[in-house]
Amino acid sequence: MERQYEAAPGVYRLRLALWAGLGYAVLASGLIVAAGLCITLIVLAASRSLEDWRIVFPILLLGMLAITLLRALWFRSSPPEGHRLGPGEAPALREEVERIRREVGAQRLHGIVIDDSLNAAAAYLPDGFGLRQRHYLVIGLPLLQLLDRHELASVIAHEFGHFHGGHGRFGGWIYRVRVSWRRLLDGFSAQGSTSQLFFWFFRWYAPRFEERSMVLVRRQEYVADAMAARVAGAVPAASALTRVHLASDWLARRFWPDLLRPAHISSHPPAQVHLQLARALADWRGRQEAVPAWVRREQPEPDDTHPALAQRLAALGVALDMALGRPGPAAAPAMLGEALLDRLEQRFSREWLAATKPGWEARHRAAQEAERRLQILADAATRTPDEWLEYATLLEEHRPGADPVPIYREGVRQRPSHAAGHGRLGILLLRQGHGEAGLEHLERAMRLSPSLSPSLLREMDDHLPSMQEDDRLHAAVRQLHHAFGQQADAPPSSDEDLQPHALEDEPLQAVRRVLAGHPRVVAAWLVRRKAPGLSVLPHYLLLLEWGGSVASERAAVPRLTGQLTLPGTFTVLTTTERTPLLPRLRAQAGEPFYRR
C-alpha cells in the first residue's frame, strides 16, 4: 500500500474513500429499509389494509432495528481518563499550551488531562451524531518528567497539529471515520440480537478499513512533526521524538522488568512506583547521550500508526547522530508545581498498585512453583540437555547472586544447536566483561536462529560503552551488525511449528478457572511452540474467542493475562486479531479445551 500511494496517490485516496463509503452505505441502507418497512406496516395497519394482530411483531422488530442503528450512530463519550486540570491548577502549563495553540491556530481546548503514560495525545470526542467534537490535550506525567521545556513545546505543537486539521480535509475525514467505525462496533456489541448482522459486518469491516488507512495515518504524523518543528524548532522536535522513543524502549526492557522482579520473593507490589519512575527517568536522561545503532534498522510494521524514528528525523532534516543533545531541566516541576506534582505521583501510584496487585500475586504464585522446580533440578543427580538449560534459566531469574554461566555452558555443550541458550550465555559473558567469548556465542545464536538477531544486536549496542576503547571488539560488533542486521524478517525455522500443548490436567484446570471468571470468553484453544526471543522455557499460545465488544476486550484481556499461570512463557491472542497464525493455531489445537 505504501508503494501504491507513492505510484498513484489519487487512486489510493479514491479506493480509501470507497472503503469509507461502504460502511456508510451499509448503515444507511439498513436504516432506510428498517424505517421504511416499519412505517409502511404502520400505515397499512392504520388504514386497515392489514388487520391481523400479528403485524405488531414485525413492526416492533423493525422499529427496534431502526432505533438500534440510530443509537449506534449517537456517540456518548466521556473525557479521557486521568487528572483533568481544574481552575487555577498548573498555570504555567496552561499558559504554555495556550501560547502554542494560538501560534498553531487550533481550536480551543475543552480541557487538559494529565495521565500516567509516557505519551501525549490529541483526543477527539464526538457529540451526538459526530457533527460536533470536543478536543482534549492529554499529557503523560512521565513525559513531563522526561522532557525539558523546549522538547515539551514541540510535543504539544505536534498534537495541536492533529487538532488543527493540517492533514487536509480528506485526511481529517479519514481520521474521524477510523474512530467512528470502532465506536460504532462497540455500540452494536452492546445492543440486542436485532443488530447482530451489523455487528458481524463491522467486526469484519472495521479492521480492514483501518488496515487500508494506515499509509495515510503515517503521512499525517509527518505533517504534525512539521508543525512541531515550525513552532519549537527542528532540533527540539527531533530530540523529543528520540528521547521518548529510547525511554519507552528502556522502560519496557529494563525498568518495568526490574520493578516486577521482586514478585519472586514478595507477595506485595511496591507502593510508590511513580516516585521510583521519576527518579529512574531523571537518572536515565542524564546518562543517555548517544543514539544506539538499532534505531537505524527499525522499520514500521504494517499496522504501526507512526513511521520509524529514523524516517521522521530524516523528514525533519536532523541527522540521527545529532538528535540527542544534553537536555535542560525536566519540565514537570516548573509546569505543574511541586504540590500538584506530588499529588499526581501519589494518585497514579495508588492506581498502579490497585491495577497491578492481582497480576503481581499471580506472578508470585508462579515464582513459588518455579522455586520448587529449581530445587528439584538442583538436587537431580543427572539432567537432560533441556533440563540443564531450564536449570540455568531458573537460576539466572531466581538466584541473583548465583552465577548461571557454568550451567549454560554445560547446556549448550550438550545441545550445541540451542540458539536461545547460546544467546543467554553470550549476554551474561558480555555483562561479566568477557567480550570476545560473549560475541562468539551471540554470533552462534544468530546463525542458528536469525529471528534472534534484532534483540541480540540491541544487547550488543547496550554493552558497547562497557567495552571502552577496545577497537577489536568494536570492529567485531560492527561486523556482526553488517552480517545479521538485515535478518529480522528471515523465515522461521522448522522447530517453530505449532505443537500440542502436552499439559497435565492440573495446570489446564487452573487456566479454566481463570477463564470462567471472565464471562465474555466464549471458547479457548491452547498450543505450544518454540519460545520467542531468548527464553529456553516452553512458550504457549492461548487463543480466546471473545463475545463482547472490542473495547471490553482491550480492557479485560490484559487483566486476564495477569491472572494466568503456565509452566513457561505465553502469549494471549483473540479471534478478532487478524494474523495468518490463527487458522494454523486452531487447526493444530483442534477442539477448544474450554467452552463457556
User: Are 468 and 534 part of one and the same domain?
Assistant: no
* 522 in any annotated domain: yes
Q: Structurally, how many domains does the chain consist of? A: 3
Q: Any idea how long the chain is?
A: 596
Distance between CA atoms of 378 and 391, rounded to whole angstroms? Answer: 7
3-state secondary structure of 45: helix
pLDDT value at residue 532? 56
Instruction: Enumerate residues 6+ apart whose C-beta is below 8 A from 192.
Output: 64, 68
Q: What is the CATH number of the domain that holds 457?
A: 1.25.40.10
Exposed, middle or buried: residue 137 (CB in 10 Å: 0-12, 13-18, 19+)? buried
Instruction: Please tell me the predicted confidence (pLDDT) of residue 488.
Output: 46
State which residues form the domain around 22.
2-73
Beta bridge partners of 541: 527, 571
Position 19 in a domain = yes
Q: Do 511 and 454 sit in the same domain of this protein? A: no
Determine the pLDDT at residue 489.
43
Residues 543, 529 share a domain: yes
Enumerate residue ranges in the chain where pLDDT < 70: 49-53, 71-77, 126-132, 164-169, 171-172, 175-176, 178-180, 182-197, 303, 465-469, 486-497, 530-537, 548-552, 554-555, 577-580
Report the phi/psi class of residue 50: left, alpha or beta, with left for phi > 0 and alpha for psi in -120 to 50. beta
239 domain residue, yes or no = no
Q: How far is CA 336 from CA 277, 342, 467, in A?
A: 17, 10, 41
> 564 Cβ partners below 8 Å, 6+ apart?
362, 511, 514, 542, 570, 572
455 assigned to some structural domain = yes
Non-local (6+) Cβ contacts of 386 within 8 A are 415, 536
Are 486 and 570 found together in one domain? no
Q: What is the pTM of this model?
A: 0.73
In a domain, 457, yes or no: yes
Q: Which three cell numbers stand for residue 210?
A: 483501518
Instruction: Give me the pLDDT at residue 494, please.
Output: 41
CB 222 within 8 A of CB 307: yes
- Shared domain for 478 and 525, answered yes or no, is no
Q: Are residues 472 and 512 in the same domain?
A: no
Choose one of 491, 508, 540: the last residue of a domain: 491
Beta strands at 521-529 and 539-546: parallel, antiparallel or unpaired: antiparallel
- Residue 373 in any domain: the answer is no
Claim to verify: residue 20 and residue 57 sit in the same structural domain: yes
DSSP string of 356-425?
HHHHHHHHHHHHHHHHHHHHHHHH-SS--HHHHHHHHHHHHHH-TTS--HHHHHHHHHH-TT-HHHHHHH
Strand partners, 124: 135
At residue 484, the pLDDT reads 82
How far apart CA 297 and CA 541 sit, in angstroms, is 28
Secondary structure of 438-451 as H, E, C letters: HHHHHHHHHHHCHH
Domain boundary among 474, 491, 508: 491
Instruction: Find, among 99, 129, 97, 92, the residue nearest to 110 by Cα.
Output: 97
Whether the CB-CB separation of 118 and 140 falls below 8 Å is answered with yes
The 3-state DSSP class for residue 208 equals helix
| Residue carrying C-alpha cell 474512530 | 179
SS (H, E, C) 507-546: HHHHHHHHHHCCCCEEEEEEEEECCCCCCCCCEEEEEEEE
pLDDT given for residue 338 in this prediction: 94
**Is residue 429 domain-resident?**
yes
Domain boundary among 470, 491, 512: 491
Q: Does 532 share its domain with 580?
A: yes
pLDDT at 490: 44
Same domain for 475 and 511, yes or no, is no
Q: Comparing C-alpha atoms, which of 132, 126, 155 is closest to residue 231? A: 155
Q: Which of 110, 131, 520, 130 is nearest to 122 (CA)?
A: 110
* CB within 8 Å of 94: residues ≥ 6 apart: 85, 112
What number of other Cβ atoms are within 10 A of residue 432's Cβ? 12
- Do 466 and 519 lie in one domain? The reply is no
> Which spans in 47-116 are helix H?
56-73, 91-104
What's the confidence (pLDDT) of residue 392? 92
Identify the pLDDT of residue 183: 61
For residue 580, the model assigns a pLDDT of: 60
Query: pLDDT tens digits, residue range 391-436?
Result: 998 898 888 789 999 999 999 999 998 888 999 999 999 888 888 8
